[in-house]
């Protein structure tokens, strides 16, 4: 079994490594890349982990490029999988660490490459932080030092995704109450790391997250896609579809011994329903949501056969935490849960393996093989065949140089686009590009004024209430032009690799 899992892991790892210098998504990955630039502004930032890149650059002079960001994500996944191996040891009360479960944890994390670009992002960072948090939270009778470490992780999550940090903080306090360890000294231990980090950032950079978040509250009013009700809807819709899938599978599992013939009828209906829901919820070419639906179906089917009396209360709480984490980490995202949920699949993988191991060793082995197969397919598809908003990755063969000696291989269409835009913007240090195209300024060695990305007209107008004076602007017509763009601009039309039209606006 270990050799088979090692094979799946090795193949997935090789596919990831061979892809690190190929392709680039000019939308989301462009945002991640700009956030890593030391000189990039991030006024009213809702994602503030860029402060760590700025601090790291100030201390070392090292700046990450596209390849560096991708390798950093991979390194963090390798570390997070090791952390989850320690968690599994505590969770199952095993005598020693398990290399098999390290491989399974890594495969579960690798599934995140099935959706969104390869570079380190707030989504991949939030999963890594949650893995380390989960390991620490599972320790019984935690010390003040361990609560300080948990506080450090909550602080890092606050810079990455504030809503997830608040959620993890609430679960941490519930754990303290549940374990009868609620002490004000421990609460201070959770808060002190954030205060220290904020002080260091302010003293060294003159910037810190709290001031940005205060500004961000007003800015978010100009982004309708981040309204509270809409964000709640994205999570509730995902939960509702999963609940609808799980109910008939749970009933079928309940009838496993009492009415086997009826069980197969219900199971047949459940599979038909799962297929219909998978088809109905496939809003894009992605199919990763099918893996999430299958996973919840498996958990629901085998849940009635689980002897909860044989599981300690500590383990029941940990199992519930594993099931809850994907929803908790998704809160605050403006992407539907069924699309983004694959990033959090690793927690359900561990929950399913635990349930399977308690029912039958053979079932756990079958689940392990399924994890390996599904992850390998998702890595192949998500990186090479259908990379996020790009052409297939084997078409990225043209070298493009940027930054100080850095390079990346792009497709011919991408190269032609950049070559056409470059002469217009060569005299500018900053390039305002809207909407959802921050990767173009990045690849042209420009920064974006005030914010690393502009997604809507109202957001752009918020940042430039008095207008913006520039010789060249880039406009991708996903929304109408900001009101400050007057008729004194000429237009040059370029075709993006996806066939859509980009406008270069330049003064007459």
Task: Dump pLDDT digits (tens) for 469-505.
Answer: 888 999 999 889 998 887 778 888 888 887 788 999 8
Question: What does pTM read for this prediction?
Answer: 0.95
User: Quick one: tokens of 191?
Assistant: 């808060």
Helices (H), 220-312: 228-254, 260-280, 288-302
CB neighbourhood size of 303 (10 A): 16
Residues for the chain: how many in total?
A: 508
Helices (H), 93-223: 99-110, 122-137, 144-160, 162-178, 184-205, 209-219
Separation CA 152–CA 310 (nearest Å): 34
Q: Look at strands 472-475 and 432-434 and give their pairing.
A: parallel
Q: Quick one: how far is CA 96 from the chain centroid? A: 31
pLDDT at 224: 67
Q: Which of 166, 57, 74 is nearest to 119 (CA)?
A: 74
The residues of the chain scoring below 70 in pLDDT are 222, 224-225, 228, 508
Q: Which of 55, 34, 13, 9 is nearest to 119 (CA)?
A: 34
Do 212 and 45 contact (CB within 8 A), yes or no? yes
Q: Which of 112, 108, 234 is nearest to 163 (CA)?
A: 234
pLDDT at 117: 95
Separation CA 455–CA 14 (nearest Å): 34
Label residue 287 exposed, middle or buried (CB < 10 Å: 0-12, 13-18, 19+): middle
pLDDT at 333: 85
Strand partners, 130: none
Do 480 and 439 contact (CB within 8 A), yes or no? no
R_g of the chain, CA atoms, integer Å: 24
Separation CA 402–CA 443 (nearest Å): 6
Separation CA 422–CA 402 (nearest Å): 12
The secondary structure element, H or E, covering residue 406 is strand 406-410
């Amino acid at each position: 079994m270990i050799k088979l899992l090692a094979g799946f892991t090795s193949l997935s790892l090789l596919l990831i490594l061979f892809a690190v210098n190929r392709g680039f998504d000019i939308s989301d990955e462009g945002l991640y890349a700009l956030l890593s630039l030391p000189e990039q502004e991030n006024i009213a930032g809702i994602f503030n982990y860029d402060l760590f890149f700025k601090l790291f650059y100030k201390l070392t002079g090292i700046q990450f490029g596209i390849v560096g960001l991708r390798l950093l994500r991979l390194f963090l996944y390798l570390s997070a999988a090791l952390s989850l191996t320690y968690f599994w040891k505590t969770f199952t009360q095993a005598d020693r660490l398990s290399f098999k479960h390290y491989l399974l944890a890594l495969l579960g994390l690798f599934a995140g490459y099935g959706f969104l670009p390869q570079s380190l992002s707030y989504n991949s960072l939030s999963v890594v932080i949650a893995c380390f948090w989960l390991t620490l939270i599972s320790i019984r009778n935690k010390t003040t030092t361990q609560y300080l470490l948990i506080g450090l992780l909550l602080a890092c999550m606050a810079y990455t995704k504030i809503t997830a940090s608040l959620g993890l903080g609430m679960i941490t306090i519930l754990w303290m109450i549940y374990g009868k360890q609620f002490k004000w000294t421990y609460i201070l231990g959770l808060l002190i790391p954030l205060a220290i980090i904020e002080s260091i950032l302010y003293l060294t950079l003159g910037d810190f997250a709290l001031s940005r978040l205060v500004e961000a509250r007003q800015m978010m009013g100009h982004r309708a896609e981040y309204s509270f009700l809409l964000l709640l809807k994205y999570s509730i819709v995902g939960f509702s579809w999963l609940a609808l899938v799980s109910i008939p599978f749970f009933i079928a599992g309940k009838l496993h011994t009492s009415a086997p013939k009826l069980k197969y009828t219900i199971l047949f209906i459940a599979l038909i329903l799962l297929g219909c829901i998978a088809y109905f919820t496939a809003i894009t070419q992605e199919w990763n949501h099918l893996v999430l639906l299958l996973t919840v179906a498996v958990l629901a089917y085998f849940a009635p056969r689980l002897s909860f009396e044989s599981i300690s209360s500590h383990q029941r709480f940990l199992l519930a935490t594993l099931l809850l984490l994907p929803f908790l980490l998704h809160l605050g995202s403006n992407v539907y849960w069924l699309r983004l949920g694959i990033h959090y699949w690793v927690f359900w993988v561990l929950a399913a393996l635990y349930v399977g191991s308690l029912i039958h060793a053979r079932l756990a082995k079958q689940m392990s093989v399924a994890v390996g197969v599904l992850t390998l397919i998702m890595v192949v598809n998500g990186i090479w065949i259908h990379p996020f908003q790009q052409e297939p990755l084997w078409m990225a063969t043209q070298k493009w140089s940027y930054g100080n000696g850095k390079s990346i291989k792009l497709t011919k269409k991408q190269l032609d686009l950049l070559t056409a835009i470059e002469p217009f913007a060569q005299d500018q240090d900053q390039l305002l590009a809207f909407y959802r195209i921050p990767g173009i300024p990045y690849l042209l060695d420009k920064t974006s004024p005030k914010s690393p990305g502009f997604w809507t007209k109202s957001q752009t107008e918020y940042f430039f209430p008095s207008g913006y004076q520039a010789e060249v602007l880039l406009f991708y017509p996903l929304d109408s032009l900001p009101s400050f763009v007057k008729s004194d601009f000429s237009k040059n039309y370029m075709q993006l690799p996806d066939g859509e039209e980009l406008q270069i606006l330049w003064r007459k």
